[in-house]
Amino acid sequence: MMEHIEYFIYIWPDLFKGLIVSLQLSVGALLLGLAIGLPMALMRTYGRGLVKTLAVMYIELIRGTPMIVQLFLIYYGLPDMGILLDRLPAAIIALGINSSAYQAEYFRGAILSIDEGQGLAAQALGMTKQQAIVNIILPQALRLVLPPWSNEVIYMVKYTSVAFLIAVPELMARGKMLISKTFKPLETLFWVGVIYVIVLSIIAKIVDMVERKLAIPGFQMSREDY
Amino acid sequence: MGINFAANKVLASIPYLLGGVWITLQITVLALALSTVLGLLLSLLRVYGKGIFHRFSLIYSRLMRSLPLLVILFMLYFLGSEIIDIPAYWAIVLALAFHSAAYQSEIFRGAIQSISKGQMEAALALGMSKYQGIFSVILPQALRRAIPYWANEATIVLKDSSLAYALGVTELMRRGEYVSARTSQPMLTYIIVGLIYLILTYAFTKSMNRIEYKVRIPGLER
Amino acid sequence: MPKPILRIENLHKKFRDTEVLKGLSLTVYEGEVVVIIGPSGTGKSTLLRCINRLTEPDSGDIYLEEQKIEPGKSNFSQIRQQIGMVFQDFNLFNHLTAVQNVAIGPIKVKKMDKKKAYDLAMKELERVGMAEKAGNYPAELSGGQKQRVAIARALAMDPKIMLFDEPTSALDPELIGEVLEVMKDLANAGMTMMVVSHEMGFAREAADRIVFLEDGVVAEEGSPEKIFNNPERERTREFISKIARLNSGGDDRGLNNK
CA atoms within 13 A of residue B29's CA, in its CB half-sphere: 8
CA-closest candidate to residue A164, choices A197, A135, A192, A136: A192
Check pLDDT > 80 for residue B211: yes
CA atoms within 13 A of residue B173's CA, in its CB half-sphere: 27
Sign of CA dihedral A191, A193, A194, A200: positive
Query: What are the helix and strand counts (H, E) for chain B?
Result: 10, 0
Measure CB to CB from residue A65 to each of B70, B107, B198 and give the nearest one.
Answer: B198
> In degrees rounded to 5, what are phi and psi of residue A183?
55, 35
> In degrees rounded to 5, what are phi and psi of residue A34?
-70, -45
Query: What's the pLDDT score for residue B3?
Result: 63
End-to-end CA distance of chain A: 40
Query: What's the pLDDT score for residue C212?
Result: 94
Angle at C165 between CA C161 and CA C171, to 5 degrees: 130
Average per-residue pLDDT for chain A: 90
CA distance A171 to A193: 10
- B116 vs C contacts (CB less than 8 Å): 89, 91
| B59 inside 8 A of chain A by CB | no
Query: What's the pLDDT score for residue B41?
Result: 97
- Residue B70 near residue B98 (C-beta atoms within 8 A): no
CA-closest candidate to residue A195, choices A161, A162, A146, A147: A161
Check pLDDT > 60 for residue A222: no
C-alpha C46 chain-centroid distance = 12
Subunit contact B219:C138, Cβ cutoff 8 A: yes
Beta-carbon contacts below 8 Å between B and C: 78
Query: What's the pLDDT score for residue C155?
Result: 96
Average per-residue pLDDT for chain B: 92
| B159 inside 8 A of chain A by CB | yes
CA distance B33 to A42: 38
- Residue C80 near residue C53 (C-beta atoms within 8 A): yes
Q: In which residue ranges of chain C is pLDDT below 50?
A: 250-258
Residues 6+ positions from A20 with CB-CB distance below 8 Å: none
Subunit contact A69:B163, Cβ cutoff 8 A: no
Query: What's the pLDDT score for residue C146?
Result: 97
Subunit contact A225:B110, Cβ cutoff 8 A: yes
pTM attached to this predicted model: 0.89
Q: Which residue of B has its CA nearest to A184?
A: B78
Subunit contact C54:B220, Cβ cutoff 8 A: no
Query: What's the pLDDT score for residue A110?
Result: 92
Sign of CA dihedral B131, B136, B138, B142: positive
What chain B holds in terms of domains, given with CATH numbers, is 2-215 (1.10.3720.10)
Query: What's the pLDDT score for residue B8?
Result: 87
User: Tell me: the pLDDT tens digits for A137-175?
Assistant: 888 888 888 888 888 999 999 999 999 999 999 999 999
Query: What's the pLDDT score for residue A219?
Result: 55
Query: What's the pLDDT score for residue C248?
Result: 61
Nearest-Cα distance to chain B for A173, in Å, is: 10
Measure CB to CB from residue C108 to each of B136, B140, B220 and give the nearest one.
Answer: B136
Subunit contact A68:B82, Cβ cutoff 8 A: no
CA distance B218 to C137: 7
Which residues in C have their CB inside 8 Å of a CB on B? 52, 54, 77-78, 80-81, 83-85, 87, 89-95, 104-105, 108-109, 137-140, 150, 153-154, 157
Query: What's the pLDDT score for residue C256?
Result: 40
Angle at C71 between CA C68 and CA C72, to 5 degrees: 115
| B191 inside 8 A of chain A by CB | yes
Check pLDDT > 50 for residue A201: yes
Query: What's the pLDDT score for residue A143?
Result: 83
- The amino acid present at C133, given as its one-letter code, is K
Subunit contact B201:A64, Cβ cutoff 8 A: yes
User: Tell me: the pLDDT tens digits for B76-126?
Assistant: 998 877 666 678 899 999 999 999 999 999 999 999 999 999 999 999 999
CA distance A206 to A223: 14
CA distance B68 to A155: 9
Distances (CA, A) of B196 to A56, A65, B24, B165, B173: 19, 9, 11, 16, 10
Subunit contact A65:B194, Cβ cutoff 8 A: yes
Query: What's the pLDDT score for residue B145?
Result: 93
- B112 vs C contacts (CB less than 8 Å): none
- Residue B75 near residue A186 (C-beta atoms within 8 A): yes
Check pLDDT > 50 for residue A195: yes
CA distance A64 to A59: 8
Percentage helix, strand, coil for chain B under 3-state DSSP, each rounded to 5: 85, 0, 15
CA distance B78 to A183: 11
How are strands ordered across the β-sheet holding C217-222? C83-86, C161-165, C193-196, C33-37, C209-214, C217-222
End-to-end CA distance of chain B: 55
Query: What's the pLDDT score for residue A212?
Result: 83
C-alpha C176 chain-centroid distance = 15
End-to-end CA distance of chain C: 34
User: Tell me: the pLDDT tens digits for B32-90?
Assistant: 999 999 999 999 999 999 999 999 999 999 999 999 999 999 999 988 776 666 788 99
Query: What's the pLDDT score for residue B147?
Result: 94
- C124 vs B contacts (CB less than 8 Å): none
User: Tell me: the pLDDT tens digits for B159-206?
Assistant: 999 999 999 899 999 999 999 999 989 999 999 999 999 999 999 999
CA distance B121 to C53: 10
DSSP per-residue string spanning C33-65:
EEEEE--TTSSHHHHHHHHTTSS--SEEEEEET
SS3 assignment, position C90: coil
